[in-house]
Chains A and B, each alone.
Chain A
Amino acid sequence: MTDALVLLVVVPIAASLFPVALGGRFERIGWFVAAAMGLVHLGLSATVAARVLEGGSISYAVGGFEPPFGIELVADGVSAPLLVLVSLSTLGVLVYARRAGPHSNAFYSELALLTAGISGVFATADVFNLYVFLEITGLATYALVASGRSPRAALASLKYLFVGTIGASLYLLGVGYLYIMTGTLNMADLTGAVASASVGYTSPAILASFGLIVTGLLVKVAVFPLHTWQPGAYAESPDTVSAYISALVSTAAAYALVRIIYAVYTTGFLDEVPLAGDALVALASVSVVVGAVLAVMQSDLKRMLAYSSVSQFGLVVAAIGLANETALVGAVVHLVGHAVMKGGLFLTVGVFATGLGVRTVEDFAGLAAKAPVSSAAFAVLAFSMVGIPPAVGFVGKWNIVVGAVEAGAWPVAAVVVVSTLLTLAYFGRVIERMYFTAPEPEADAVSTDGGNDAVEVSFGMRAVVVVSAVTAVVLGVLGSDLITVIQPALEVYF
């Protein structure tokens, strides 16, 4: 049953063909195809996760060509939970999209393609194959961002396309250097090959490849100052899309970064070239603070959430750069947690926007009285993002801070604390408005924003929002169980 691993990629790719092929005959077939794909994907990822829990890790040789020559797919304690996360986020977003749209068949094709790309990034163990999956993810994301009808969305998408392509190309160039020096592309094979005497960690080509690959991936993760594509892409795309891509796309790139740094270059490289880790930590720390400060300055809620992602992914990258087991566990937990929280927050904002037409922080005044359930969900998710126990945001941040202290990196610990305060600042003012400010007179609340097609908020949309809030708390309570799954897979790197 290791076939389940490759089917995780094959099924969504195959499913992405049907909505377009059948679209001419059945107008709304897309959603059903995507929902079926999501359920099958969940079954497959659960199978993979069960096998990983039993046996540690599973590997699949694509096309029967054995690694290191063929392409290898691997699921271990880190990728298996993330694959389950992909299935669950896809299903959640689909439940939401049933009413909220976009309803076109092309949209569901793109969604399936994105699922395939992200699953591939999490599953692959081949650096070139990783490039291909990153680009599939990218292509699908560009198309999804542009699925909003406004020309602004198209412009944001094109900007994302330019920046994303250059990032991916830099990654490819880095892979080229790696290949010249080692003659292999398989991650497990590269571990030894990079360290071997004939290559060595400090050879110029290996250093260049590290720089290029990491820079390329940091563009995709959206770390300051390479984040410029992100606010536009998140803010201009439809709510369904912003939730899905904020939950998974940067997460996939950050996971790729973990994989590349620890499986290919290993901690030996970071020890021998301290500048590499230090630069990563420094850049990420700046990103944490700048992202949070920019988030505080936004009035548009989706833009605020986008800058918040820049800040949160800064935390993750800082933890990756610390090269310390506790911090790395924290980084992976925070990746999972961030996906649940940020996806949920974008969906909640979508519920407010479709139901009440509010999109800016100003509009949020007195919202809690009008939409008590969604407001409560928003508050829970926001506090979770701040890092208040027992929610999952706390578990991730806590491990990152402890890791930073263990590594003696006091500035990073300080940055995490400062970022927590800034996170509280930008979520606090929204929550304060929701619960403690009287609503403004309703004279023009309906007429100003006519672009909402008068969609009713369905039970499904509310349910997804509540489920994500509950998940954020439950994951926090079960945090230690999650860590026992993740830790063994990360231990091998140290």
Chain B
Amino acid sequence: MMDLLTTHYNYVASILLFGIGLYVVMGSPNLVKKIIGMNIFQVGIFLFFVTTGYVDGGAPPVVGHGEETFVSPLPHVLILTAIVVGVSLTAVALALVIRIYDGYGSLDEDVIKEVQVDD
């Protein structure tokens, strides 16, 4: 078991990040913190993806420097796209948070629920 943890530390790290991210999204009542949690969750997946392309002793995938082994470039390219998606999601989420704050005067979910009930 210990062996598995030390040889696959990249997976362990990304699982930890998923866990932390998911916990913050579900557990924190603050909407901005939830957004941060969502980002951490996504970054966990991005890092997981990037490490899958790793080749022992591989050079960065740029041809023409005399190296022979390269890390796989495909996961990097995919993750660039996914990062862009993540950034746009964060932007939309933050824009929504501004509107929610305008409407309810708070970013705390519990307070918002109370305001909604009072309506």
A-side residues, CB < 8 A to B, are 128, 131-132, 135, 138-139, 142-143, 146, 150-152, 154-155, 157-158, 161-162, 165-166, 169, 172-173, 176, 179-180
Contacts of B69 in A (CB 8 A): none
Interface contact B42-A165, CB-CB below 8 Å: yes
Closest to B14 in A: A173
B105 to chain A minimum Cβ distance, whole angstroms, is 10
Complex contacts, B96 vs chain A, CB 8 Å: 142, 146, 154, 157-158, 161
| Residue of A with least CB distance to B98 | A154
**Once the chains are docked, how many angstroms separate the CA of A139 from the CA of B84?**
12
Nearest chain B residue, comparing its CB with the CB of A160: B96
List 16 A–B pairs whose Cβ atoms lie within 8 Å, in order of A's numbering.
A128-B81, A131-B85, A132-B85, A139-B85, A139-B88, A150-B103, A151-B102, A154-B103, A155-B112, A161-B93, A166-B41, A169-B45, A172-B45, A173-B48, A176-B49, A176-B52
From B78, B112, B116, residue with most partner A Cβ within 10 Å: B78
Interface flags for B17-46 (1: CB within 8 Å of A; 0: not) read 000001001000001001000100110010
Contacts of A157 in B (CB 8 A): 96
Contact A162 B25 (CB under 8 A): yes
Measured in the bound complex, the distance between the Cα atoms of B52 and A152 in whole Å is 41
Identify the closest chain B residue to A157 (Cβ). Answer: B96
Which 7 pairs show the lowest CB-CB distances between chains A and B? A151-B103, A154-B99, A158-B96, A135-B85, A154-B100, A154-B96, A180-B52
Establish whether residues A135 and B89, one from each chain, have CB atoms under 8 Å apart when the complex forms: yes
Chain A positions within 8 Å of B42 at CB level? 165, 169
Is B9 interfacial (CB 8 A cutoff)?
no
Other A-B pairs beyond A151-B102, A158-B97, A166-B22, 15, CB < 8 Å: A128-B78, A142-B92, A143-B92, A150-B103, A152-B103, A154-B100, A154-B103, A155-B100, A161-B93, A162-B38, A169-B42, A173-B48, A176-B45, A179-B74, A180-B52
Question: Is residue B82 within 8 Å, beta carbon to beta carbon, of the partner chain?
Answer: yes
**B48 close to A176 (CB less than 8 A):** yes
B25 and A166 contacting across the interface, CB-CB below 8 Å: yes
Do B45 and A173 touch across chains, with their CB atoms under 8 A apart?
yes
Q: What total of A-B pairs shows CB separation below 8 Å?
A: 71
**CB within 8 A of A162: which of B34, B78, B81?**
B34
Residue B52 contacts which of A138, A146, A150, A179 (CB distance < 8 angstroms)?
Answer: A179
List A contacts of B48 (CB < 8 A).
173, 176
Interface size class of B (residues with CB under 8 A): 20 to 34
| Chain B hits for A138, CB < 8 A | 89
Task: Determine if A158 and B81 form an interchain contact, defined as CB atoms under 8 angstroms apart.
Answer: no
B49 proximity list for chain A (CB < 8 A)? 172, 176
How far in angstroms is the closest Cβ of chain A from B42? 6
| Pairwise interchain contact A161-B92, C-beta atoms closer than 8 A | yes
A138 CA / B85 CA spacing, docked (Å): 10
Give per-residue flags for B98-117: 1 if the beta carbon is below 8 A from chain A beta carbons, else 0. 01101110000000100010
Q: In the complex, what residues of A have CB within 8 A of residue B34's CB?
A: 162
**What chain B residues lie within 8 Å of A172 (beta carbons)?**
45, 49, 82
In the complex, A189→B69 CA distance in Å? 25
Residues of A within 8 A of B74 (CB): 179
Contact B93 A132 (CB under 8 A): no
- A152 to B96 CA separation, bound complex (whole angstroms): 11
* A139 vs chain B, min Cβ distance (A): 6
Q: Which residue of B lies closest to A143 (CB)?
A: B92
Q: Which residue, of B89, B93, B96, B116, has the highest number of chain A Cβ atoms within 10 A?
A: B96
Closest approach, in angstroms, between the C-beta of A397 and any C-beta of chain B?
36
Taking a contact as CB atoms closer than 8 A, the residue among A158, A165, A166, A176 that contacts B100 in the complex is A158
Q: Is the CB of B82 within 8 A of A131?
A: yes
Q: Which of B45, B78, B92, B116 contacts A152 (CB 8 A)?
A: B116
Which of B42, B85, B104, B112: most chain A CB closer than 10 A? Answer: B85
Q: Do B93 and A158 touch across chains, with their CB atoms under 8 A apart?
A: yes
Chain B residues contacting A173 (CB-CB under 8 Å) are 45, 48
* Chain B hits for A131, CB < 8 A: 82, 85
B109 CB, nearest partner CB in chain A, Å = 9
User: Nearest-CB distance from B119 to chain A (Å)?
Assistant: 9
B82 cross-chain contacts in A, Cβ below 8 A: 131, 172
- Could you say which residues of chain B place their CB within 8 Å of the CB of A169? 41-42, 45
Identify the closest chain B residue to A151 (Cβ). Answer: B103
A165 pairs with B78, CB closer than 8 A: no
Q: Which of A143, A151, A161, A179 contacts B75 (CB 8 A)?
A: A179
Considering the chains assembled together, what is the distance between the CA atoms of A406 and B59 in angstroms?
56
The smallest beta-carbon distance between A66 and chain B, in angstroms, is 16
Cβ of A162: which chain B residues have Cβ within 8 Å of it? 25, 34, 38, 93
From A135, A138, A157, A162, name the one whose CB has the most chain B CB atoms within 10 angstroms: A162
| Shortest beta-carbon distance from A318 to chain B in Å | 28
Q: Which residues of A contact B97 (CB under 8 A)?
A: 158
Complex Cα spacing A165 to B43, Å: 12
Query: Who on chain A is nearest to B91 by CB?
Result: A139
A132 touches B52 (CB 8 A): no
Interface centre among A146, A155, A179 (most CB of B within 10 A): A155
Within the complex, the shortest CB–CB distance from A378 to chain B, in Å, comes to 29
Q: Which chain B residues lie closer than 8 Å to A161 at the CB level?
A: 89, 92-93, 96
